[in-house]
Amino acid sequence: MSYISNAIIDNAVDLIINTRDFCGDEKRAVKDFCSDERIADWQKVWRIANFRANAQWNRYQKDAGVNPKYTF
């Protein structure tokens, strides 16, 4: 199992959030990002970053006043 830095995860989280804003393919975006960064285990990056991106997305929704029953 390889080490993945927090900087890579943070960049992937930002990428997921931005891709989500534009209704893009988040998983493909992370896969391409990892390819650019020469990270072989893109699925590990995806799992960690997607979990954190969902938490951040939920905070954005709550801050915007979205009814909690409509958040993850």
Residue 27 has pLDDT above 90, yes or no: yes
Domain locations in the chain as residue ranges: 6-70
| Nearest 10 degrees: Cα torsion 22, 62, 52, 32 | 0
Residue 1 has pLDDT above 60, yes or no: no
Assess contact for 34 and 48: CB atoms under 8 A: no
Residue 13 has pLDDT above 60, yes or no: yes
pTM above 0.85, yes or no: yes
Measured between alpha carbons, how far is 59 from 49 in angstroms, rounded to an integer? 15
pLDDT tens for each residue of 56-68: 999 999 999 999 8
